[in-house]
Structure 1
Amino acid sequence: MATFVCRVQFLDDTDPFNSTNFPEPTRPPLYSFREDIPLINQLAGVHRLLKAPHKVGLTG
């Protein structure tokens, strides 16, 4: 089971002139991505770790 460890962070770009609603973390936490699991299946774990204010979903 190979992993790829990196720092993860979200960017609240719903209103670029207002940064007080959901301030981004000052020090992004580490997350270990598993190389044998598709990335789309790991995004919910990243979302929980970050406590991101927005719903997980694709735009388009």
Structure 2
Amino acid sequence: MTEFHFVKSSYSSTSGECIEVALNIPGTIAVQDSKSTGGAVLHLTPAAWAAFTAGFGRAARR
């Protein structure tokens, strides 16, 4: 299996509360907690990731 190459979110806070995302595997978006890089990895489809991230824009407008 190919290894995920995680990148820390550009919206990360200075207190370290953030996620890391890997986009290097076709058909899979991998997400992990940056404070627990050896922990669980959430695997999402591109459609699920798009729906998840679309909610950020709506939440910011409230």
Q: TM-score range by the shorter chain?
A: under 0.3
Q: TM-score, normalised by structure 1?
A: 0.27
Report which of the two has the higher share of strand: 2
- TM-score, normalised to structure 2, is 0.27
**Structure with more helix by fraction:** 2
